[in-house]
Each structure stands twice: as C-alpha cells, then as structure tokens.
Amino acid sequence: MRTPLIAGNWKMNGLRRDAEALARDVAAAVTASEGVEVLVCPPFVHLDAVGVVLADSGISLGAQNCADAGQGARTGEVAADMLVDMGATHVILGHSERREFYGEDDGLVAGRYRQALEAGLTPVLCVGETLSERDAGQTEAVVAGQIRGITDRLGADSLGPGVIAYEPVWAIGTGRTASAEQAQAMHAFIRAQLAGIEGESAASARRLLYGGSMKPGNAAELLAMDDVDGGLIGGASLDAGDFAAICAAATRD
C-alpha cells in the first residue's frame, strides 16, 4: 500500500515573513493524518525559518534542488548535507524550470540525485514532456529517457526511496491539467518502465506523483487514479486553504 504524498513546491516566492506565515497557515489548515504524507519545499533561504514553524506539525520539509557534489568549490550551489542540517528530508530534482531556464540535463540531475541519496534525502525526481514533444508523439520516449537518465548512470537499483513526479510541462503553471485518464496512462507507463528497470516489487512500491495545475477542483479525480500516489503542487501550494483541500482529497482511510 502506497501512502499518498502531497508536496508543495513554493518555487521562488515570498520573503521570510511570508514563508513563516504560509507555513503557520499550512500547519493550521492541514489535518495531520496517517493516510497522507505532507511535504513543503520553500526556497533554500527560508528552510530554517519554515522548519522552526513546522516543528512537531507532522509536515515534512524539502528543498528545491541540491548540488551534484559534496561541500567545496561550487559557488552558488547548496550541498545535500547542508539541507539535512536545516531539517530537510526531501529534495525536488530535475524540475522542468531547472531544465528549461538553467540548462540542467539528465547527467547533472543524476549527479544531484546521487548526492541527495548519499546525504539521506528522499529525491522527488520530476519528469515530463513539453507540448511540442507530446504533439510529436514523443511523450513516452522523453519520460522513459529521463528515468533512464538516472538509472543508466547510477544503476538499476539506484532510485532508493525516491519518488517520481510526472509533470507534463504544458500543464505547469498554465491552468491546463492533464485529464485523469492521461495522467493514469502515463503513470502506468512509468510504473511499467520501472518494473523493467528495478523489478516488479520495487516498482509497485514506488510513489508516483502527478504535477501540473493540480488544485482543489481537480485533485480528487486525479488522485483517485490507481497509479497516482499524490501530487506535486506549485501555485495552489501558496494558498494554505487550497493546499489543505488537496491534502484532504488525497487522504486514504
């Protein structure tokens, strides 16, 4: 049985006081339950402050990236063990905004993934196709390639506790959501790919999140799909009420 995970990606939003207020509101609005795991991922510079607010809330803390090397000469990067030191347990990797705006490719994401695992973080690996790739019929090849981008480099058993977030790029921040059927089809495809890489048992235990304009109005339908084990939420995670409603929709008794 896979416990659903709802992860909020706060992206590059808010000053410290905003992050603290949002964390307080989320902690108050989200009903702690064993039926769902809840994670928030603020910007690096707010991890410490948000961690203080969330202490004892049952809500986990994650970062939005980590370096592909250990501490040392990597100006502007943040090492995975520094994130653990801030109280983070998870890290988002390979987000499409990183791939698009900062040129991150599968090799770099694999290096980050390895560092995250070595530090004891759970990676949330983002995969997904652009609209032109979908229109060209390349969706499955792109997504399979992004997963193999990790396992070909790090090994078939290398995903560890990692979570995979299927995020069609055309649905991120656009208000355009994949239909529940489209999401399920891709999640089933990803699980089948994983079964071929790491074996049936590891693949059936691995959590697969959907991300892309998930909000209270569409969450229940998406989360009801067999292979959708939670969500990675951008815009709606900045509103505590909306985020809590998505968490409630994911809760399994």
The answer to whether residue 232 forms part of the interface with ligand PEP (CB under 6 A) is: yes
Residues 177-216, interacting with ligand PEP (CB under 6 A): 211-214
Burial of residue 45 (CB within 10 Å: 0-12, 13-18, 19+) is: exposed
**248 near ligand PEP, rule: CB under 6 A:** no
Q: 46 an active-site residue?
A: no
User: How many other CB atoms are found less than 10 A from the CB of residue 220?
Assistant: 14
According to the binding rule CB under 6 A, does residue 217 interact with ligand PEP?
A: no
Handedness of CA 12, 85, 127, 179 (dihedral sign): negative
Site mask, ligand PEP, residues 8-27, x = CB under 6 A? Answer: -x------------------
Phi-psi region of 59 (alpha: psi -120 to 50; beta: other; left: phi over 0): beta
Single out the residue of 187, 161, 191, 207 nearest to residue 3, CA to CA.
Answer: 207
Q: Which stretch binds ligand PEP (CB under 6 A): 32-40, 144-152, 165-173, 240-248?
A: 165-173
- Segment near ligand PEP (CB under 6 A), from 19-27, 153-161, 233-241, 242-250? 233-241
Which one, 81 or 218, has the nearer CB to ligand PEP? Answer: 218
Q: Which residues contact 18 (CB under 8 A, 6 or more apart)?
A: none
Q: Does 91 bind ligand PEP (CB under 6 A)?
A: no
> Judged by CB, which is closer to ligand PEP: 161, or 235?
235
- From the list 104, 167, 187, 198, the catalytic residue is 167
Q: Buried b / exposed e across 109-126, counting CB within 10 Å, b at 16+?
A: bbbbbbbbbebebbbbbb
- Asked if residue 233 binds ligand PEP (CB under 6 A), the reply is yes
Question: For tokens 């009420």, what's the residue?
Answer: 241
- What does the block give as tokens for 39? 């994670």
Contact between 167 and ligand PEP by CB under 6 A: the answer reads yes
Residues near ligand PEP, by CB under 6 A = 9, 167, 172-173, 211-214, 232-236
Residues marked active site are found at 95, 167
